[in-house]
Structure formats: C-alpha cells, structure tokens
Chains A and B, each alone.
Chain A
Amino acid sequence: MESAITLIVDGREHRVTVDHRSTLLDTLRDRLGITSPKKGCDHGQCGSCTVLLDGRRHLSCLTLAVAQDGGEVVTAAGLGEAEDGKTGELHPVQQAFLATDGYQCGYCTPGQVCSAVGMLEEAKQGAPSHVTEDLTGEVELTDEEIRERMSGNLCRCGAYVNIIAAIREAAQA
C-alpha cells in the first residue's frame, strides 16, 4: 500500500509517494536523496538517524514516513539554513563541534548535532533529566547532565570527550 505525502525538509517542500512500510529515514535518504541522517543500527539504539521533527529530536528510523504527512523535518544539513534563512552557514552547535574536534570518522556527527540542538532546547525549557538532583529546580548543564541527556547517541570512535566539550561550549554561547 502506498500514499502520497508532503514533507518539509530543511525548509523545502517535497511531495513523495511512500510505501506504508517506509521509515522516515529511508524516505529521506533513498527517495529524497537527503543523506545527512545516517543509518546506524536501524533499531533506535544508536541515534545516528536523529533529526528534528516538528522542532523536537526524533529517531527517523523508528518513524513511519506515511504517519508524518505535513511534518517539518530539519536535518543536520539544514540546521544553519533553518535557523537564519541563509545557506552555507553553520549552526552554533556545528561550529562548536568543529572548534573542539568533536568527532573522528564523522558518521554519528549529524545525529549528534541534531540531538544536541534538540537537547539544548529541552534544557532551556527547564526539562529535568535522570541525573537532575532537584526535579523542581533550575537545570544546570553540567558535564554529567550533558552525558545523560546525550545517552541516546553512540560514537564508535569514542569521541565523547570532545563531543561533550562542543555541547558545553554551545550551551554557554
């Protein structure tokens, strides 16, 4: 069974007919040629497929495309554009990953960056985490908080130290 849907990806509208089995990740990569979200485990365990869906970080591998008709997707490739309408600009989180060398092979990086952008917004809204001592208090993004909030993104190169440094820098910017 197939259905025609509309997806707005990185500010551009796409009309595409999808099999009802297709995930958002496969639709972005294989049908729309948008390869910034990566297929790592394809089971929601690694986070490399993370995109912002309607403004929140989301696993595109565990999402059916057909269910997101009209949805607004921002990938790491579109973050700069989505923020200020320009092209070719880096988002402050991407800039921080560059500045701190927050990657090695780079495969998990688009997912890490999208997850970090979503996570920083959640923290800004005051959402607590598992390691937040006082559930009703202010959120302070310590390294422990950053690690916990980013635990859904794996890096097989083990670049975590500099990923945390990047996010700390972006949070303070």
Chain B
Amino acid sequence: MRAHTWQRATDVADAVAQVSGDPSAQYIAGGSNLIDHLKLGITEPALLVDVSRLPLERIIHSDKGLRVEANVRNADLAADAEVREGYAAVARALLSGASGQIRNQATTAGNLLQRTRCVYFQDVTTPCNKREPGSGCSAQDGYGRYNAILGASDECVAVHPSDLAVALMALDTSVTVVGSGGEREVALDDFYRLPGDEPQRDTTLQHGELVTAVTVPPLPTGARSTYTKVRDRASYAFALVSVATALVLDGDTVEDVRVAWGGVAHKPWRARTFEERLRGQTLTAENVDAALDAELADASTDADTAYKVPMVRRATAMTLARLAHDGPDQEGPA
C-alpha cells in the first residue's frame, strides 16, 4: 500500500476544500471498498479525507419523501421502520447486499460510490481501461460471465455492483452534491454514466464534490415496491442480475410501473422503454414479454453473457407477478 496521509474533516466545507485542493485526494467513510482497493493497489491516493464523523446521519421522512444523509449506515437504513414499510425495494436491496458486518460499516454515499467487481479491474496485473485508461479491456476476451449486456462500450464492459443504487434508480432518487461552487441536486440517472470512452469515470461527479444525501420522492399512491436479486450463492454474493420495481395497479391495468435492473450495465439500468410500453396495459405475461422485447432490443451478448437475457426477463416478470398477486412487500402509502 502506498503511503498516504489521513485527515479527519471538521465539516462539509472543510472536507470539500481539502479534496478539491489536492488532485490525488479521496474521501473515505466506511472504507469497506476503498481500504480493499488501497491494499490491492487499485487506487493510490496521497491524502484520505475522512468524512465518517460528519453529522450526516439522519433519515428524514416528510411530505417530500425520504431523505437519507450520506453517512447513514446500510444496516440502519434497512432497519428503519418507515423505510421497511414504505420503501420495501430499498430495504430489500440493502438486505440482499454484502454481509451483516459490512452493512454495519458501509454508508449510503459509499454504497453508491463503490466500484465494479469486474475481476480484471481488481487485478492490477491485467490491462483495464477503468483502472488504467488506455491499457485495454481484459474482460472482453477473458472471463466474461459478469459483463454488461446493455450500454457497454469498446473500452469497458464492467457492471455496477450496488444493490441499493438499483432500488434508488427505480424510485426516481436524486443525489445532493456539495462542491467548491456550492450545492447541487442531480437525478441518480444523471449521476451515473455509461462507460463510453471514459470508463474510469463511474459518475458525473467532479473531483472534490461530496455526496451529502439522497432523496427518494414519495411513491405514487397505492404503489408496491420490491427487489429481486439473482446470484450464484444464496447470500453474500453480487448480483448476476437484479430487478427493482414499483407498481401501481388499477384492477389488472398497470397505472404506473418503474423498473431498474442491476448486473446488466455500467450503471443501474432504468428500463424506461419497458415502463412506457407496459403503462396503461393489462399486466399479462404477453404484455410483459412484449415490453421486455422492446427494452432488450439493443442488448448485446456473447457466449458468456447470453444467460443474462432470459434471466433478467424472468426475474422481471416474476417480480411484477409477485407484486401484483402475492408479494410480501405490499406496503406503500395507501
């Protein structure tokens, strides 16, 4: 591990000033992903600015929805009574991620900013454009089982690893960001980016910008939400594919539907084409199939990733059917 200096930030402005002023500085909070990267040599910051004791620890429920400050631990957000009741997709996504120990230390902002688990990104002996721009992509001709099937580029086929981010993407979440120029609010869909020719950038954050909170607007009246994760092991494994949904039915008719997918792209993939096709239709297997066809028309697979298409289709259809008929998470504002 390269020698670094560690410094505790005294407040948000101090944190932003410290990181903005040093191109090789990085924020650290729970550290469960970053400390591993320091050990592996994936990143070598000269300065770590610790934001873990900044007072950004509140979960606020109001008529504006759910506001979660950056330092709320994953375990605490999942255990929050009102999150469990009104935002089941968020609680379910969190509970399906990592382990009990890691959920106790990992923060909300850190979860969103964790980096891909692409095996080549994590192996500094192999070329990887995300880790070392211009060095090449080892995943395209290598072990490709986890690769993206939507929105990938010639430079990068990595997928985003977060479960929480998939649920937040489905629920129209926005992110509060503070930089040296002040505070801004950015939609989660614009916070993340596709790899293009800059796969080293996971997000649209500028250097020095600090995530201070996320806001989930109130779910539509009658909405039910949940999260389904498909993985190699029953627990403590990243998603092969995952599905976050919120659904409002009027009888059998889909009044509103939101769907986001994990494990398929460089960012949590909001399936807007699928949503548009299904809205106003009856929730039948045929209509869901047709909407899936439309969303997945541009999917690109190879022998390693071909399995992901039927997997994400079935996971989506199953999750919607469960929400409609017998799902356990039928909560949400009445």
* Residues from 15 to 38 in A contacting B, C-beta threshold 8 Å: 19-21, 23
Chain A residues with CB under 8 A of B4? 1, 20-21
| A-B pairs with beta carbons under 8 Å apart, 19 shown | A1-B4, A1-B6, A21-B4, A43-B36, A43-B40, A47-B101, A56-B104, A57-B101, A57-B104, A63-B31, A64-B48, A118-B101, A126-B79, A133-B328, A134-B328, A135-B88, A135-B329, A147-B235, A148-B234
Q: What are the 4 tightest A-B residue pairs by CB atom distance, in nearest-first order?
A: A152-B99, A151-B235, A20-B6, A135-B84
User: How many angstroms between the C-alpha atoms of A23 and B34 in the bound complex?
Assistant: 12
Q: Are A50 and B329 in contact (CB under 8 A)?
A: no
Query: Per-residue CB proximity of B55-86 to A under 8 Å, as 1/0?
Result: 00000000000000000000100110100110
Chain B residues with CB under 8 A of A115? 100-101
Q: Are A130 and B328 in contact (CB under 8 A)?
A: no
Does chain B have a CB within 8 A of A169? no
Distance between B322 CB and nearest chain A CB, rounded to angstroms: 12
Distance between A45 CB and nearest chain B CB, rounded to angstroms: 8
Known: A57-B100, A151-B235. A63 touches B84 (CB 8 A): no
Does chain A have a CB within 8 A of B321? no
Q: Are A125 and B105 in contact (CB under 8 A)?
A: no
* Residues from 1 to 39 in B contacting A, C-beta threshold 8 Å: 1, 3-6, 8, 28, 31-32, 35-36, 38-39
Interface residues of B (CB under 8 A from A): 1, 3-6, 8, 28, 31-32, 35-36, 38-40, 48, 50, 52, 75, 78-79, 81, 84-85, 88, 91-92, 95-96, 98-102, 104-105, 234-236, 328-329, 331
User: How many angstroms between the C-alpha atoms of A1 and B35 in the bound complex?
Assistant: 16
Chain B residues with CB under 8 A of A72? none
Q: Are B48 and A62 in contact (CB under 8 A)?
A: no
Does chain B have a CB within 8 A of A91? no
Distance between A27 CB and nearest chain B CB, rounded to angstroms: 13
Q: Are A67 and B28 in contact (CB under 8 A)?
A: yes
Q: Are B6 and A66 in contact (CB under 8 A)?
A: yes
Q: Are B105 and A62 in contact (CB under 8 A)?
A: yes
Distance between A11 CB and nearest chain B CB, rounded to angstroms: 21
Distance between A167 CB and nearest chain B CB, rounded to angstroms: 12
Chain A residues with CB under 8 A of B100? 57, 115, 118-119, 122, 149-152
Chain B residues with CB under 8 A of A74? none
Distance between B121 CB and nearest chain A CB, rounded to angstroms: 14
Chain A residues with CB under 8 A of B48? 20, 64
Does chain B have a CB within 8 A of A59? yes
Closest to A50 in B: B101
Q: 16 extra interchain contacts, Cβ-Cβ under 8 A, other than A127-B75, A136-B81?
A: A3-B6, A20-B5, A42-B39, A43-B40, A50-B101, A59-B101, A62-B36, A63-B35, A122-B100, A129-B95, A130-B95, A147-B234, A148-B235, A151-B100, A151-B236, A152-B99
Chain A residues with CB under 8 A of B85? 135-136
Chain B residues with CB under 8 A of A44? 32, 36, 101-102
Chain A residues with CB under 8 A of B234? 147-148, 151
Q: Are B3 and A67 in contact (CB under 8 A)?
A: no
Known: A67-B6, A126-B79, A129-B95. A136 touches B31 (CB 8 A): no
User: How many angstroms between the C-alpha atoms of A63 and B81 in the bound complex?
Assistant: 28
User: How many angstroms between the C-alpha atoms of A67 and B32 in the bound complex?
Assistant: 13
Closest to B29 in A: A67
Q: Are B99 and A127 in contact (CB under 8 A)?
A: no
Chain B residues with CB under 8 A of A66? 6
Q: Are A21 and B95 in contact (CB under 8 A)?
A: no
Select the residue from B38, B52, B75, B104 with max chain A CB neighbours within 10 A.
Answer: B104
Does chain B have a CB within 8 A of A40? no
Query: Per-residue CB proximity of A66-81 to B under 8 Å, as 1/0?
Result: 1100000000000000
Residue among A19, A50, A136, A151 making CB contact with B331, cutoff 8 Å? A136
User: How many angstroms between the C-alpha atoms of A151 and B101 in the bound complex?
Assistant: 10
Closest to B103 in A: A152
User: How many angstroms between the C-alpha atoms of A43 and B32 in the bound complex?
Assistant: 9
